[in-house]
Chains A and B, each alone.
Chain A
Amino acid sequence: MIMILARVISWISLIVLTGSAVLFLTGRMELQQVKLYMLASTVVWFVTATTCDALKKSEQ
């Protein structure tokens, strides 16, 4: 359950990472905001992806 949740959150973080840049491209977001969203989604990605990896290894 935790692994599924972590995986979903990790993929959402990547969508936010890329999506914020796309919103900048379409003029819907300022660059400073994009940088903040990218940083936040980077942190979320590494926390959740590492959690998934650790859970996967412990299952193996």
Chain B
Amino acid sequence: MANEQEQKHSHNEFERRQVPQSALLGFKDFIGMYAGEHCAGTELMIGPLFVAAGISAFDVLVGLFVGNALAVLSWMFLCAPIATRARLTLYYQLEKICGRNLVALYNIANGVMFCFLAGAMITVSATAVGVWFKFPMPGLNDIYPKGVGWVLAVLAVGGLISVVAAFGYKAVARFANIAAPWMVLVFLTFGIIGLKQFIDATGANIKTPGDLWQLVSGYIWKGGEPLPGQVKFTFWHVTFFAWFCNMAMHIGMADLSVFRFARKSKYAIASGAGMYVGHYMAWICASILYAYQLHLDPSDTDVLPGPMAYKAAGIAGLLCVIIAGWTTANPTIYRAGLAFQAIIPKAPRFTVTLLTGALATVMGLFPAIAMKLLGFVMLYGMILMPMGAVIFVDFWLIKKFGLQSNYAELSGRLFNWAAGLAWICTVIICLILVKYAGIQIFFVSLPGWFIAALLYIAVSFLYQKKVRPVKEG
């Protein structure tokens, strides 16, 4: 993560043991980290994509408030209590439960998902290059690269990000800490400037909150039909999206690795800094820019953060797009590299990071990921969520059923089939529900969590009878 905490206590510290009391951190350490991390390049895609999905003012203002609150509560009551008790990394905790081989599969899935996400961030940064070089850029429904200019821009941006991530991850992380307060405020100015542009364009006379509501509900977040090719978003879509967009981190338990350093589990409320700065303010402000673009020309449906930011805030806006994309692609590529390296530990970190960056760059060539970011983020969470359910059940519930926790460690097995089947079957069932049962991907992870939990318990009954522990638990 682009933050001081990860520099101070990198993943290499206490990787295979509990974090000692002397290394625990205070509340403030988590506030800055979360606020900075969640104001990223992808916020400049998500906000506009909400508008493209036909959201109304109530949907976005209230739905985001509720959804982000649910995310914070998930961190506080699902992730952090386990993190502050076990004080282990996600990977080591998973290894004890699932076995090294299953964790290797999880790492592959995690790494691939991170590469897709980093690819989307590279796409965002590449749109800023397009402002200067004026090559054709991808449209809202484009899947494939749009011309040589786009390809060269993505390769250049992605290549640079990858090389820097391989050589100087920490330097970029340090730069990201410096950039974070500036970046947050530039996002805010996007919203302020966009609002004024709407006032001027519509001739609105804002004297009361009612006047403001009329403007935002009548012109900015109008509701109604989505743009062609987009899923219609309602209040519930917005709420669940805001809740589940970081599902891998809270319900999926990835942030065990973060909150293992927290003195108290309630410090997880610090995640609110990220949610309400990045996933409320930044999304809203970015959406205003796109709504204004559509207001000026309804046929101009391209979601291109670079040109939007440039029109609103000039070079400072453009720099924000580049830096936001870069500073979050950097740790994402790094994390993906770590995930892959866990499978091939003898491979040099430098080479793995470079190759991971190359993979992310190739993915960034295809605008489909960025343009379908809303769905992709939900898919990402859905794929990793079942392991969070496994960890939750294993930590709190499994012994109540007369079963053993940390069964892979106890039995000496490298692949806990109960956990593996819970994961794989849950993903398959969720995909079936999406494809055939009419449950949209934005919602399916909620029943999916319970399916994973039940499967893990049920299969454990059979599995733990069949495979005896090596030593008494």
In the docked arrangement, what's the CA distance between A53 and B317, Å?
Answer: 23
Q: Is B319 an interface position by the 8 A CB rule? A: yes
Contact-residue bracket for chain A: 20 to 34
Query: B182 contacts which chain A residues (CB < 8 A)?
Result: 14, 17, 42, 45-46, 49
B289-323 residues with Cβ-Cβ distance < 8 A to A are: 313-317, 319
**Chain A minimum-CB-distance residue to B199:** A25
**Chain B minimum-CB-distance residue to A38:** B316
Contact B196 A24 (CB under 8 A): yes
**Chain A minimum-CB-distance residue to B181:** A14
A9-60 residues with Cβ-Cβ distance < 8 A to B are: 14, 17-18, 20-22, 24-25, 27, 31, 34-36, 38-39, 41-42, 45-46, 49-50, 53
**Chain B interface SS verdict (over half):** helix
In the docked arrangement, what's the CA distance between A27 and B189, Å?
Answer: 15
Q: Is B152 an interface position by the 8 A CB rule? A: no
In the docked arrangement, what's the CA distance between A46 and B181, Å?
Answer: 11
Query: A46 contacts which chain B residues (CB < 8 A)?
Result: 178-179, 182
Q: Contact mask B144-179 → A, CB, 8 Å, 1/0?
A: 000000000000000000000000000000100111
**Chain A minimum-CB-distance residue to B316:** A38
Q: Contact mask B178-209 → A, CB, 8 Å, 1/0?
A: 11011001101100110111000000000000
In the docked arrangement, what's the CA distance between A55 and B21, Å?
Answer: 29
**Chain A interface SS verdict (over half):** helix
In the docked arrangement, what's the CA distance between A50 and B171, Å?
Answer: 12
Contact B185 A39 (CB under 8 A): no
Contact of B196 among A25, A36, A49 (CB under 8 A): A25
Contact A38 B178 (CB under 8 A): no
Whole-angstrom distance between the Cβ of B337 and the nearest chain A Cβ: 25
Contact B188 A18 (CB under 8 A): yes
Whole-angstrom distance between the Cβ of B6 and the nearest chain A Cβ: 16
Contact A17 B316 (CB under 8 A): yes
Contact B193 A31 (CB under 8 A): yes
In the docked arrangement, what's the CA distance between A31 and B177, Å?
Answer: 29
In the docked arrangement, what's the CA distance between A58 and B138, Å?
Answer: 45
In the docked arrangement, what's the CA distance between A53 and B175, Å?
Answer: 9
In the docked arrangement, what's the CA distance between A41 and B182, Å?
Answer: 9
Contact A35 B314 (CB under 8 A): yes
In the docked arrangement, what's the CA distance between A17 and B186, Å?
Answer: 8
**Knowing A17-B182, A49-B178 touch, does A39 contact B193 (C-beta < 8 A)?**
no
The 7 closest A-B pairs by CB, nearest first: A35-B314, A38-B316, A21-B189, A21-B192, A25-B196, A42-B316, A49-B178
**7 cross-chain CB contacts under 8 A:** A21-B313, A24-B196, A27-B196, A39-B315, A46-B178, A49-B178, A50-B178
